[in-house]
Amino acid sequence: MPQAEETQLLAEMPVAEMERAIEALERFTQPERLGRLQDVLNKRTAHLCTVFENPSNPNNVWAALRTIDSFGIQNVHVIADPELYIKKGRLLTMSSAMGSQKWLSLHGHDSAADCARALKARGYRIIGSSLGPGAVPMDAIDWSARRVAVAFGNEKTGLSEGLLAQCDQTFYIPMRGFAESFNVSVALSIVLASAAAGGGLRGGDLGEGERRAVYLRWLLRTVAAGESVLQREGIALPQSMSLRRTEEGIAGFSTLRT
Protein backbone atom coordinates (compact mmCIF):
# COMPACT_ATOMS: atom_id res chain seq x y z
CA MET A 1 0.00 0.00 0.00
CA PRO A 2 1.54 3.36 -1.00
CA GLN A 3 2.32 5.68 1.90
CA ALA A 4 -0.26 8.25 0.75
CA GLU A 5 -3.04 5.68 1.10
CA GLU A 6 -1.85 4.82 4.60
CA THR A 7 -1.82 8.50 5.52
CA GLN A 8 -5.35 8.90 4.17
CA LEU A 9 -6.58 5.94 6.21
CA LEU A 10 -4.98 7.33 9.35
CA ALA A 11 -6.51 10.75 8.63
CA GLU A 12 -9.95 9.11 8.69
CA MET A 13 -9.48 7.87 12.25
CA PRO A 14 -11.59 9.68 14.87
CA VAL A 15 -9.63 12.67 16.12
CA ALA A 16 -9.68 11.52 19.73
CA GLU A 17 -8.43 8.05 18.75
CA MET A 18 -5.64 9.52 16.65
CA GLU A 19 -4.54 11.73 19.53
CA ARG A 20 -4.53 8.73 21.87
CA ALA A 21 -2.35 6.83 19.39
CA ILE A 22 0.08 9.72 19.06
CA GLU A 23 0.36 10.16 22.82
CA ALA A 24 0.95 6.43 23.33
CA LEU A 25 3.75 6.29 20.76
CA GLU A 26 5.35 9.52 21.97
CA ARG A 27 5.89 7.86 25.36
CA PHE A 28 8.16 5.32 23.66
CA THR A 29 10.15 7.88 21.67
CA GLN A 30 13.28 9.65 22.88
CA PRO A 31 12.79 13.41 23.37
CA GLU A 32 15.55 14.19 20.87
CA ARG A 33 13.85 12.05 18.25
CA LEU A 34 10.46 13.62 18.95
CA GLY A 35 11.99 17.03 18.54
CA ARG A 36 13.50 16.03 15.21
CA LEU A 37 10.22 14.60 13.89
CA GLN A 38 8.27 17.68 14.96
CA ASP A 39 10.86 20.08 13.54
CA VAL A 40 10.81 18.38 10.12
CA LEU A 41 7.02 18.16 10.14
CA ASN A 42 6.74 21.88 10.88
CA LYS A 43 8.76 22.58 7.71
CA ARG A 44 6.79 20.30 5.38
CA THR A 45 4.92 21.90 2.49
CA ALA A 46 1.87 20.95 0.45
CA HIS A 47 2.13 24.04 -1.78
CA LEU A 48 4.37 22.16 -4.22
CA CYS A 49 4.39 18.48 -5.13
CA THR A 50 6.20 16.49 -7.81
CA VAL A 51 4.98 14.16 -10.55
CA PHE A 52 6.98 11.51 -12.44
CA GLU A 53 5.38 9.96 -15.53
CA ASN A 54 6.38 6.49 -16.73
CA PRO A 55 10.11 6.71 -15.96
CA SER A 56 12.16 4.20 -17.95
CA ASN A 57 14.49 3.65 -15.01
CA PRO A 58 12.74 3.65 -11.62
CA ASN A 59 16.09 4.18 -9.91
CA ASN A 60 16.19 7.69 -11.36
CA VAL A 61 12.98 8.56 -9.56
CA TRP A 62 13.86 6.95 -6.26
CA ALA A 63 17.26 8.66 -6.31
CA ALA A 64 15.39 11.97 -6.47
CA LEU A 65 13.37 11.26 -3.33
CA ARG A 66 16.21 12.28 -1.02
CA THR A 67 16.27 15.68 -2.73
CA ILE A 68 12.48 16.01 -2.46
CA ASP A 69 12.63 15.19 1.23
CA SER A 70 15.46 17.67 1.77
CA PHE A 71 13.39 20.51 0.26
CA GLY A 72 10.53 19.77 2.67
CA ILE A 73 8.07 18.46 0.07
CA GLN A 74 5.68 15.80 1.38
CA ASN A 75 3.72 14.52 -1.63
CA VAL A 76 5.08 12.70 -4.68
CA HIS A 77 2.95 11.35 -7.53
CA VAL A 78 4.10 8.55 -9.83
CA ILE A 79 2.21 7.67 -13.01
CA ALA A 80 2.87 4.09 -14.10
CA ASP A 81 0.69 3.09 -17.05
CA PRO A 82 0.06 -0.67 -16.59
CA GLU A 83 0.22 -1.24 -20.35
CA LEU A 84 3.78 0.10 -20.49
CA TYR A 85 5.23 -1.99 -17.72
CA ILE A 86 5.90 -5.66 -17.17
CA LYS A 87 4.24 -6.40 -13.87
CA LYS A 88 6.58 -8.11 -11.46
CA GLY A 89 4.99 -7.26 -8.14
CA ARG A 90 6.66 -4.72 -5.90
CA LEU A 91 9.53 -2.48 -6.79
CA LEU A 92 12.98 -3.69 -5.94
CA THR A 93 14.70 -1.98 -3.06
CA MET A 94 15.96 1.42 -4.19
CA SER A 95 18.97 1.89 -1.95
CA SER A 96 19.87 5.16 -3.68
CA ALA A 97 16.85 6.80 -2.04
CA MET A 98 18.63 6.24 1.31
CA GLY A 99 15.41 5.65 3.17
CA SER A 100 13.81 9.01 2.36
CA GLN A 101 10.78 7.36 0.79
CA LYS A 102 9.42 6.20 4.15
CA TRP A 103 8.99 9.84 5.23
CA LEU A 104 7.19 10.93 2.04
CA SER A 105 3.63 10.37 0.87
CA LEU A 106 3.80 8.47 -2.43
CA HIS A 107 0.70 8.50 -4.67
CA GLY A 108 0.40 5.93 -7.48
CA HIS A 109 -1.68 6.49 -10.63
CA ASP A 110 -2.38 4.27 -13.64
CA SER A 111 -2.81 7.14 -16.10
CA ALA A 112 -2.09 10.82 -16.68
CA ALA A 113 -5.81 11.54 -16.60
CA ASP A 114 -6.21 9.93 -13.16
CA CYS A 115 -3.24 11.84 -11.80
CA ALA A 116 -4.38 15.19 -13.26
CA ARG A 117 -7.88 14.67 -11.90
CA ALA A 118 -6.56 14.01 -8.40
CA LEU A 119 -4.22 16.99 -8.47
CA LYS A 120 -6.75 19.46 -9.78
CA ALA A 121 -9.31 18.31 -7.23
CA ARG A 122 -6.78 19.44 -4.61
CA GLY A 123 -6.30 22.84 -6.24
CA TYR A 124 -3.01 22.19 -8.00
CA ARG A 125 -2.01 23.69 -11.33
CA ILE A 126 0.24 21.35 -13.30
CA ILE A 127 3.53 22.73 -14.63
CA GLY A 128 5.28 20.34 -17.01
CA SER A 129 8.94 20.11 -17.98
CA SER A 130 9.01 20.25 -21.78
CA LEU A 131 11.11 21.44 -24.73
CA GLY A 132 8.02 21.81 -26.90
CA PRO A 133 6.31 24.92 -28.28
CA GLY A 134 4.95 27.32 -25.71
CA ALA A 135 7.37 26.35 -22.95
CA VAL A 136 8.79 29.28 -20.98
CA PRO A 137 12.11 29.57 -19.16
CA MET A 138 12.00 28.11 -15.67
CA ASP A 139 12.58 31.55 -14.11
CA ALA A 140 9.38 32.84 -15.72
CA ILE A 141 7.20 30.53 -13.62
CA ASP A 142 5.27 32.15 -10.77
CA TRP A 143 5.81 29.53 -8.08
CA SER A 144 3.98 31.37 -5.32
CA ALA A 145 0.57 32.17 -6.85
CA ARG A 146 -1.20 28.82 -6.41
CA ARG A 147 -0.43 25.26 -5.48
CA VAL A 148 1.79 23.75 -8.14
CA ALA A 149 2.57 20.19 -9.24
CA VAL A 150 5.84 19.95 -11.18
CA ALA A 151 5.73 17.11 -13.72
CA PHE A 152 8.70 15.30 -15.25
CA GLY A 153 8.24 12.86 -18.14
CA ASN A 154 9.93 9.73 -19.38
CA GLU A 155 13.69 10.21 -19.79
CA LYS A 156 13.57 9.36 -23.51
CA THR A 157 10.20 10.59 -24.71
CA GLY A 158 9.31 13.31 -22.22
CA LEU A 159 5.77 14.00 -21.04
CA SER A 160 3.00 12.14 -22.83
CA GLU A 161 0.53 14.01 -25.00
CA GLY A 162 -2.12 13.12 -22.44
CA LEU A 163 -0.30 14.80 -19.56
CA LEU A 164 0.81 17.75 -21.70
CA ALA A 165 -2.85 18.38 -22.48
CA GLN A 166 -3.52 18.59 -18.74
CA CYS A 167 -0.66 21.02 -18.05
CA ASP A 168 -1.56 24.60 -17.22
CA GLN A 169 1.92 25.69 -18.30
CA THR A 170 5.19 24.14 -19.51
CA PHE A 171 8.74 25.23 -18.84
CA TYR A 172 12.33 24.40 -19.74
CA ILE A 173 15.64 24.81 -17.94
CA PRO A 174 17.91 27.17 -19.93
CA MET A 175 21.18 25.46 -20.89
CA ARG A 176 24.45 26.73 -22.34
CA GLY A 177 26.06 23.57 -23.67
CA PHE A 178 25.38 21.01 -26.39
CA ALA A 179 23.26 18.80 -24.14
CA GLU A 180 19.51 19.49 -24.35
CA SER A 181 18.47 18.09 -21.01
CA PHE A 182 19.66 17.15 -17.55
CA ASN A 183 19.29 13.84 -15.75
CA VAL A 184 15.90 13.90 -14.02
CA SER A 185 17.41 14.05 -10.53
CA VAL A 186 19.65 16.98 -11.52
CA ALA A 187 16.76 18.75 -13.25
CA LEU A 188 14.64 18.26 -10.13
CA SER A 189 17.29 19.87 -7.91
CA ILE A 190 17.56 22.89 -10.23
CA VAL A 191 13.80 23.35 -10.43
CA LEU A 192 13.25 23.03 -6.68
CA ALA A 193 16.01 25.55 -5.99
CA SER A 194 14.28 27.97 -8.38
CA ALA A 195 10.91 27.29 -6.74
CA ALA A 196 12.37 27.90 -3.29
CA ALA A 197 13.84 31.22 -4.41
CA GLY A 198 10.49 32.16 -5.95
CA GLY A 199 8.44 31.53 -2.81
CA GLY A 200 7.07 28.16 -3.92
CA LEU A 201 8.13 26.17 -0.86
CA ARG A 202 6.06 27.20 2.15
CA GLY A 203 7.13 25.21 5.13
CA GLY A 204 4.46 24.30 7.66
CA ASP A 205 1.40 24.52 5.40
CA LEU A 206 0.15 20.93 5.60
CA GLY A 207 -3.51 20.78 6.53
CA GLU A 208 -4.03 19.84 10.17
CA GLY A 209 -5.61 16.48 9.33
CA GLU A 210 -2.79 15.51 6.97
CA ARG A 211 -0.20 16.84 9.37
CA ARG A 212 -1.39 14.69 12.28
CA ALA A 213 -1.78 11.61 10.07
CA VAL A 214 1.75 12.01 8.69
CA TYR A 215 3.08 12.46 12.22
CA LEU A 216 1.33 9.28 13.39
CA ARG A 217 2.72 7.33 10.42
CA TRP A 218 6.22 8.60 11.22
CA LEU A 219 5.85 7.56 14.87
CA LEU A 220 4.78 4.09 13.77
CA ARG A 221 8.02 3.86 11.79
CA THR A 222 10.06 5.14 14.69
CA VAL A 223 8.76 3.06 17.60
CA ALA A 224 9.73 -0.60 17.54
CA ALA A 225 6.57 -2.76 17.69
CA GLY A 226 4.48 0.40 17.52
CA GLU A 227 1.37 -1.49 16.45
CA SER A 228 1.71 -3.77 19.48
CA VAL A 229 2.01 -0.71 21.71
CA LEU A 230 -1.28 0.59 20.34
CA GLN A 231 -2.97 -2.79 20.70
CA ARG A 232 -2.03 -2.88 24.40
CA GLU A 233 -3.63 0.56 24.74
CA GLY A 234 -6.80 -0.69 23.05
CA ILE A 235 -6.24 1.51 20.01
CA ALA A 236 -7.12 -0.05 16.66
CA LEU A 237 -5.52 1.08 13.40
CA PRO A 238 -7.61 1.05 10.22
CA GLN A 239 -7.87 -2.39 8.65
CA SER A 240 -5.75 -3.51 5.69
CA MET A 241 -2.73 -1.53 6.81
CA SER A 242 0.79 -2.88 6.92
CA LEU A 243 2.98 -0.20 8.42
CA ARG A 244 6.03 -2.16 9.48
CA ARG A 245 7.98 -1.60 6.27
CA THR A 246 11.22 0.33 6.10
CA GLU A 247 11.38 0.49 2.31
CA GLU A 248 8.36 0.68 0.06
CA GLY A 249 7.24 0.96 -3.53
CA ILE A 250 4.13 1.28 -5.61
CA ALA A 251 2.77 -2.17 -6.42
CA GLY A 252 2.94 -3.31 -10.03
CA PHE A 253 5.56 -0.79 -11.17
CA SER A 254 8.74 -2.54 -12.20
CA THR A 255 10.22 -2.68 -15.70
CA LEU A 256 9.31 -0.47 -18.65
CA ARG A 257 8.58 -2.38 -21.84
CA THR A 258 11.04 -1.59 -24.62
d(CA 153, CA 54): 7
Question: So what's the pLDDT on residue 57?
Answer: 72
* Together in a domain, 100 and 228: no
Which pLDDT band, with edges at 50, 70 and 90, does 241 fall under?
Answer: low
Residue 72 is classified by DSSP as T
CA-to-CA separations, 132 to 24, 128, 141, in angstroms, rounded: 53, 10, 16
- CA geometry: angle 19, 23, 25, nearest 5 deg: 120
Terminal Cα distance for the chain, rounded: 27
pLDDT tens per residue across span 104-151? 998 889 899 999 999 999 999 999 999 889 999 999 999 988 999 999
* Together in a domain, 117 and 152: yes
Q: How many CB atoms lie within 10 A of CB 103?
A: 19
Question: So what's the pLDDT on residue 62?
Answer: 76
Which pLDDT band, with edges at 50, 70 and 90, does 182 fall under?
Answer: confident
d(CA 74, CA 104): 5
Question: So what's the pLDDT on residue 89?
Answer: 43
* Together in a domain, 73 and 178: yes
Which pLDDT band, with edges at 50, 70 and 90, does 245 fall under?
Answer: very low
Question: So what's the pLDDT on residue 63?
Answer: 78
* Together in a domain, 5 and 114: no
What pTM does this model have? 0.86
d(CA 103, CA 26): 17
* Together in a domain, 29 and 149: no
* Together in a domain, 89 and 125: yes
Q: What Rg, from alpha-carbon coordinates, does the chain have?
A: 19
Question: So what's the pLDDT on residue 207?
Answer: 92
Question: So what's the pLDDT on residue 100?
Answer: 59
* Together in a domain, 87 and 158: yes
pLDDT tens per residue across span 71-116? 999 999 988 887 776 554 434 333 334 455 789 998 889 899 999 9
d(CA 53, CA 79): 5
- In which domain, by residue range, is 5 found? 1-44+209-257
| Average pLDDT estimate for 210-231 | 93
What mean pLDDT is reported for the chain? 84
Burial of 108 (0-12, 13-18, 19+ CB in 10 A): buried
Q: How many CB atoms lie within 10 A of CB 84?
A: 16
Residue 139 lies in a domain: yes
d(CA 229, CA 225): 6
How many domains does the chain fold into? 2
